[in-house]
Amino acid sequence: MSTVSNYRALLSAFCLLSSLLAPPVLAGEEVNIYSARKEDLIKPLLDDFSKQTGVTVNLVTGKEEALLQRLQSEGANTPADVLLTSDAGRLAAAQQAGVLQAVKSEALAARIPASYRDPAGYWYGLSVRARPIVYAKERVKPAELSTYEDLAAPKWKGKICVRSSDSVYNQSLVAGLISHHGEAKTETWAKGLVANFAHPPKGGDRDQIKAVAAGECDLTLVNTYYLGGMVNAQDAAEKQAAAQVAVFWPNQKTTGVHVNISGAGVTAHARHRDSAVRLLEFLAGDSAQRWYADVNAEYPVNPAIPPSVTLKAWGEFKADTVNVAKLGELNAAAVRVMDRAGWK
């Protein structure tokens, strides 16, 4: 065999040996999310996270109940690393179902006030929304309004529109009242509120605002980001409806305005735990928090970030300081109260 042939054989053997000894090529980092928030309310943030970190984000959206059932049925085989929901009650339910794990993070603890996260670290709030009274400017004077409790007064008979008792937002509001007044007093209040309904509950928060604007009722209870979305909507009818109503912050001399969160937790069987924690820290960071405020009309959970121009226009308010984890703990009691009160 020639010298050249020997060299080529030796080179081939060396290349083969190198390929066998070399470490395997690792796939790119990724994180898989089950999200109960609509894609357009979270996808831009996830894209920004991927751009900044190189971590691929795989997003699955669906209803809270369906996603929780899916996590439970998948068990240790779930691909999900993060569960993202639109209410503290849903996060508490996920924790109770055993599908979340506790996470300790100095960044999350520094950016998220204690009242907006689970005490043991099973989930963290990422944005805040208030649920104030929204009223018809032409038919209601702010001086006539005071508290959530006052909405059960006979003077409001036939003047209130609300979503159904199936709404987790209303369930959490009732849970908040139970935390302050107990189940019996809250049930009495709920019966008075139901007696003041202008019509049986129907539709979502935007529909309640439109009903007030159309004169079907004078008052409603809605999450602030729905009104913010209508204020800044391209749809002329939505903008016009929003212009006919105003925000009243109830309970400013007592317990404060009911607030809730959208938030997330790392799943119990997360395969990409580090990337999942990194994502939560990003969502609590400055750029994501500004996006929540400016684009989604949500209040930043991070107190270092100011609210948007739209939110500032409604004025400052005193928020209820009860830990939102309590809303999840009292959810079952709230549902019982609403059922007994005839809140359909």
* 43/163 same-domain check: no
* 191/335 same-domain check: yes
Q: Is the pLDDT of residue 242 over 90?
A: yes
d(CA 122, CA 341): 33
Q: Is the pLDDT of residue 3 over 80?
A: no
Grouping H, G, I as helix, E, B as strand and the rest as coil, residue 230 is helix
* 335/245 same-domain check: yes
The string of pLDDT tens digits covering residues 116-163 is 999 999 999 999 999 999 999 999 999 999 999 999 999 999 999 999
Asked whether the beta carbons of 245 and 217 are under 8 A apart, the reply is no
Whether 244 maps to a domain, the answer reads: yes
Whether 174 maps to a domain, the answer reads: yes
Helices first, then strands: H and E counts in the chain: 15, 10
* 279/220 same-domain check: no
Q: How confident is the model at residue 28 (pLDDT cuts 50, 70, 90)?
A: low
* 208/249 same-domain check: yes
* 139/283 same-domain check: no
Whether 289 maps to a domain, the answer reads: yes
Share of the chain above pLDDT 90, in %: 82
Whether 287 maps to a domain, the answer reads: yes
Instruction: Give exposure, 248-263, as e/b (b: 16+ Cβ within 10 Å).
Output: bbbbeeebbbbbbbbb
d(CA 230, CA 266): 32
The string of pLDDT tens digits covering residues 292-342 is 999 888 999 999 999 999 999 999 999 999 999 899 899 999 999 999 999
Ranges 84-88, 135-139, 141-145, 182-186: which has the least confidence: 84-88
Q: What's the number of domains the chain is made of? A: 2
pLDDT on residue 27? 45
Q: Enumerate residues 6+ apart whose C-beta is below 8 A from 229.
A: 206, 238, 296, 297
Strand partners, 259: 130
Domain with 181, as residue range(s), is: 130-257+329-340
Residue 57, domain CATH: 3.40.190.10
* 89/147 same-domain check: no
* 83/216 same-domain check: no
d(CA 130, CA 186): 20
The string of pLDDT tens digits covering residues 159-180 is 999 999 999 899 999 999 999 9
Query: Residues 162, 123, 224, CA angle at the centre, nearest 5°?
Result: 30
What number is the average pLDDT over the span 215-227? 96
Share of the chain above pLDDT 70, in %: 92
Which phi and psi (to 5°) does residue 213 adopt?
-65, -35
* 244/217 same-domain check: yes
Distance of alpha carbon 78 from the chain centroid? 22
What number is the average pLDDT over the span 13-38? 59
Q: How confident is the model at residue 13 (pLDDT cuts 50, 70, 90)?
A: very low
* 108/60 same-domain check: yes
